[in-house]
Structure 1
């Protein structure tokens, strides 16, 4: 199950999903409420968590590798806790990781984001070309992100996560995209010290589903295979 970050929908995974399916794996990209073809609909934290849980249950999936990119790590990590024995592994792709009581915007200077949400009727506007610079993207890939991106429901960014346990309790892989910083955030680094978390480094920028889809698909397949023993 593939969930893209802020402003993006299932379409962002087209190339990764094609690589996975060509290798014989199932791939289920998901658009969260309020984005892409579901754009304009208000949504909060619970909405996006429920979107993921509902899709897994609707498809009858088991042995699920749940993938969250960027913002989507927050609802993915919460949904993973609710999936129980349906879950095989969580993969965070250059993502925020949820912690109980903290929102996506916790822990980093976010006044400009909050102001932007307030000024845009409760939605966070998509990035511009400057935001995508230096991330290993071609001009065509940047154009694709900009043309496909839709405003992101602001409440999903500001409402605090709810977790019964720690994200460190679940088998997880963290994919660190090196052009977006050499090391994971401190909270993630602490989780990587645990027995259930692995780190994979990818020499590209924050949107590897566009810049390195084949390599990202390989990492997802290897992460899933590691749990088969």
Structure 2
């Protein structure tokens, strides 16, 4: 057994006990779209199209209590890919700064509207390291970090995010606009427990970096799926 597999065993146990995700156990799954804003060929190979997205709370605190928040979405596979492409972001300490510590530091938030979402780790693509961040463009009404408010907002006006990318330590620039427009019915969610996994599901030549941490994340996501018997 590899060290990364051994380290991930508690995650499998935790997911089995919970019968749900070990990380980000509660969330809202929704259908939506992504529209590329960056010129073709500049930066990460994100293309316009339909997506499946999820807004979540990292620890799963009840009601509107603060938590770290998550934003994940799955894009269909490209013509040269065997799998879809999953991107996972979590709230980080950006504020008005885009310095490296603010890109990697997980940060609890008290409302959806104040949240900056970060990839936390860079993606290696064409010999460069790329970062992704996102932020709501229209505030979610109500106070606190309530998933019920997110549910109602998606089925009402929808949730709209500006998604940006940065190469290395460079400035962030527009990448895409992401919209979540229709909550997936609970019965359908229960039947198909979608397991977002940015290691197994990626675009050609795009890899989570660094490699050693990528191996741990691969084991962790696999353990979480196996612990709750989820789909890949």
Q: TM-score, normalised by structure 2?
A: 0.26
More helix by share: 1
Q: TM-score, normalised by structure 1?
A: 0.27
More strand by share: 2
